[in-house]
Amino acid sequence: MEKKVNKTIPQGEDIKKKSIRQLVGTVASAKMQKTVVVAVDKLKLNKKYRKQYKVTKKYKAHDEKGEYKAGDKVIIQETHPMSKGKRWTVVKKI
């Protein structure tokens, strides 16, 4: 009797890892301990008038050493939830 191999289920090295999201933004606030607020700007397009406009979203990011200050341009990376609103960590300063 032959052993059947299911080709729909990936085996070993065929499994691809999910890419980790990274965003570039500016530190808006560094008043909390080990946490900074990073403002990320994004351009969106109005469907009717085809005009671009800027949208800003703020993310709370983990800063272990407290080395980033307001106005710094940084890269943040998605991570596991550290608290209710903190799911990002600061990778480096640009």
CA dihedral 46→49→53→58, nearest 10 degrees, is -20
The partner residues of 92 in beta bridges, in order of sequence, read 75
Taking the C-alpha atoms of residue 58 and residue 14, their distance in angstroms, rounded to an integer, is 36
Residue with tokens 């065929």: 14
Does pLDDT of 90 surpass 90? Answer: yes
64-81 per-position pLDDT tens digit: 999 999 999 999 999 999
Q: Give me the pLDDT at residue 17, please.
A: 64
Give domain 20-93's CATH architecture: Beta Barrel (2.40)
| Domain range annotation of the chain | 20-93
21-61 per-position pLDDT tens digit: 999 999 999 999 999 999 999 999 999 999 999 999 999 99
pTM of the model: 0.78
Of 53, 54, 45, 65, the residue nearest 26 (C-alpha): 54
